[in-house]
Structure 1
Amino acid sequence: GDDLLIALSNCDVFVLATQSVTLSGLDLPNILPSRARIPKERVLQTLSSDVEEALLFGSQRAYAWCLKRLIRAAYEKFALRNNATAYTRDLYFCVELAIEYANVDVRSDLATALLAIVQGPDAVWGALWPAYGAAMCR
């Protein structure tokens, strides 16, 4: 376990542990220690600049992308920092895990963001979607 982590120190062991499939040879995903399956904070590091740049496009697709980034950032900020070890790429479960640890005022924003991603910003906010979407993303 640990020797393997040292040997793979230049690789993204999280990606290897969670997203690789063994075709032959070592069953790498299953021999890595469980801590290799805990993601590191990535979205939070560049969140502001990523969102600001995407909002310049002004499309519903760009706003939905920003909301996805915000949900994943909330997962990192609230769930990972509280030692939640579950990992998911599913936005619903990211929201569920983040809500477990988030401040009360953030919880409804996360639920609204998820709804806007699923239904589309215009379906949630109507003609005012650019204003509401921008407010949610800031």
Structure 2
Amino acid sequence: MANPYQKYKQTSVLSASREQILLMLYEGAIKFTKLAIQGAEQKKVADRSHNLMRAFDIIAELNATLDHKVGGELAQQLEQLYVYMMERYTQANLKGDPEPLRENLKILENLYDGWKLAVEKLKKESEQKGGAA
């Protein structure tokens, strides 16, 4: 049987809205990028590579789930950004250089902040509509 924390994490993911899942994915990418930076700075190749690949996989998943029909130009711009970030992860992994990781971290934090504000605004608008009914 899974430990209580694992069960809680699984339940929170299964019951999360699409918006919450998006934020969780960004949080994971930020966390793994920070750990990869640590690994690169400490010359711990296995730690750097493992965490870098986890962040890379999250960005690849975000890229794969873009809906270009609904998202239009925004989806196209995000795709270009995600592809760029995946290239930077690859460069960081090949060279062991933490600088591309730091660059990706800044991008991720900016995207996360933007999405978080958008989700909060959406939630507030939804609550106002619900309260008016």
TM range (shorter): 0.3 to 0.5
Structure with the bigger RCO (C-alpha within 8 Å, sep 6+) is 2
TM-score (norm 1): 0.38
